[in-house]
Amino acid sequence: MTADKGVRWSLQLDWFRLGFRKAVVFCCYAMRKFLLKHVVGIPRPWLAGMGKMERKQEGPSAFRVEDGRIVWGDIARSGEGIRLAAVGDLQLSARIGRAVMQHGAAWPFGDTLAILAGADIRFGQLEFFFTRERRGAMPGSEDFTAALPEAADALSAAGFDLLSIASNHSADWGAEGIETTREVLREKEIAFAGAGLNETEANQPVILERRGRRIGLLAYCKTGAFSARGDRLGSAEIRPDNVIPAVARLKEQADWVIVSLHWGVEYCPYPLPEDRQLAREIVEAGAAAVIGHHPHVVQGIEVYRGAPIFYSIGSFLYNPLDERVVDEKTLELRRHSLLVEMTLQPCGVAGFGATPTRFGEDGRLTVLQGEAAARACAHVEKLSREMEQGWLAVSETAVGNLISMEMRTVGVLWRRHGIGVLWRLARDLKWRHVRLLGGFLLAKAARFVRRSGPSD
């Protein structure tokens, strides 16, 4: 009798476990449906991967590796062609600023100077601001985002003609930081766009002329407390209703429009699908190329309607030891970037070459050679394929990195500024954070359903 009772209890327990598993699976499906409808709010083709959408695009299969760099199209400069070199985040503060003062203005650029010298126009993104007073205007302002005006000699030594000053650090040093930066760049005869003392000033494009041709630049930064709105200083804001019309207007004044976007999730190797959608709409509006930065790691590349889209070319001249570091693997990824050379022809971008570079432990840039270059090129091609994997997988990766990074950031800021930092973090929460979290939960639910479903 006792044995029979034990068997009955065992059977009931098995039925309970099976029922509980089915209830959990049902709840996961229900949560998935709710998130898709009310939180994520994206069309279903995104979930299956953007590669299945009807788009005129070229991916890694159209790229080739030549002389240790990724190549697409015809990069030979001939006739009316203009060579534009583009790099990611530039930092001339903290350790790099001191190295410039000690070793000379050109020293940190190492052997990348030869490539930069071969271009007609050299573009970069300032991840810092020049300031004389060094009085932080934002909680958590760090010294690595402020440089002395004398450090600007390094920009001239490398030959930079065109800069984006749109950055999530644009408000760190207040009006003095923005005014000093604009003043210093004018003195160095370096054109710039992307930040100002008000919204109108921040959104102003800039046009350069070379060989009778006009190259226009628009520079923007993701939305945040640093966005210029009305009379508030900061960076030009990435919003479709802000960017798309500006591209169309500038296209009427310039032969080529280059759009620089400071966007994405830090340390995430994939762009968000909503960012990919915007990049393609920017190309449709008339942009010849889209250049992304901010994640501090390299992301994939695609060519859409003949226009290259570099979702993130990484941090070029930037010492990762000056900022928070998640782990050793991420530290190494942060040292890598792409130096892009584009050939602009009357028809648009005829081709590009993306050369892998690395910021060394000695504080200098090097062009990767041999096996190191081959590995870096293979990594970029792999990322270019994998960004087709869909919104859920990207959200899961992005949120995982974001959570691990922000928890460390909160700890640092808490120790420096006390409980007041919580208000700042709450104020900076955006709808995109809710959507990312929704995608993260959705991906976890889908993963659980896949594991649990077949065994039922």
pLDDT digit string, tens, across residues 174-193: 999 999 999 999 999 999 99
Alpha helices (H) in 418-430, listed in sequence order: 420-427
Return the closest-CA partner of residue 293 out of 270, 264, 320: 264
> What pLDDT was estimated at residue 329?
81
Cα–Cα distance between 82 and 208 in angstroms, integer? 12
Measured from the Cβ of residue 231, the count of other Cβ atoms closer than 10 Å reads: 9
Residue with tokens 């003609």: 161
Kind and range of the H or E run holding 29 = helix 2-34
Mean pLDDT (whole number) for 101-108:
94
**208: phi > 0 → left, psi -120 to 50 → alpha, else beta; which?**
beta
What is the spatial distance between Cα 209 and Cα 212, in angstroms, rounded to a whole number?
Answer: 6
The residues facing 359 across adjacent strands are 365
Percentage of residues in the chain with pLDDT exceeding 90?
57
Single-letter code of the amino acid located at 38: H
The Cα–Cα gap between 4 and 10 comes to 10
- Residue 44's pLDDT band, with cuts at 50, 70 and 90, is very low
What pTM does this model have? 0.81
Which stretch of 119-128, 129-138, 417-426 has the lowest confidence by average pLDDT? 417-426
* Residue 354, C-beta contacts closer than 8 angstroms, at least 6 positions apart: 69, 70, 71, 301, 310, 313, 338, 339, 340, 341, 380
Q: Are strands 206-210 and 213-221 parallel, antiparallel or unpaired?
A: antiparallel
CB 81 within 8 A of CB 347: no
Domains of the chain from N-terminus onward: 19-49+392-455 (no CATH), 57-388 (3.60.21.10)
Q: Which residue would you say has higher pLDDT here, 402 or 8?
A: 402
Structure confidence at residue 46 (pLDDT): 38
Q: Is 132 left (phi over 0), alpha (psi -120 to 50) or beta?
A: alpha
Asked whether the predicted pLDDT for residue 442 surpasses 90, the reply is no
Q: How many other CB atoms are there within 10 angstroms of residue 420's CB atom?
A: 10
CB atoms within 10 A of CB 66: 11
- 166 and 262 Cβ atoms separated by less than 8 Å: yes
Distance CA(403)–CA(425), nearest Å, equals 13
Mark residue 138 as left, alpha or beta (left: phi above 0; alpha: psi -120 to 50; beta: remaining): beta
Supply the pLDDT for residue 265.
83
| pLDDT greater than 60 at residue 23 | no
Summarize the confidence of residues 243-255 as an average pLDDT: 98
Q: 34 near 442, Cβ under 8 Å?
A: no
Could you give the CA distance from residue 37 to residue 132 in angstroms, rounded to a whole number?
50
Whether the Cβ atoms of residue 338 and residue 317 lie closer than 8 Å to each other: no
| Mean pLDDT, the chain, integer | 82
The Cα 208–Cα 216 span in angstroms is: 6
Residue 336: Cβ within 10 Å count? 22
Chain centroid to CA 87? 12
What confidence score (pLDDT) does residue 94 get? 82
Higher pLDDT: 439 or 154? It is 154
Distance from C-alpha of 2 to C-alpha of 121, rounded to nearest angstrom: 87
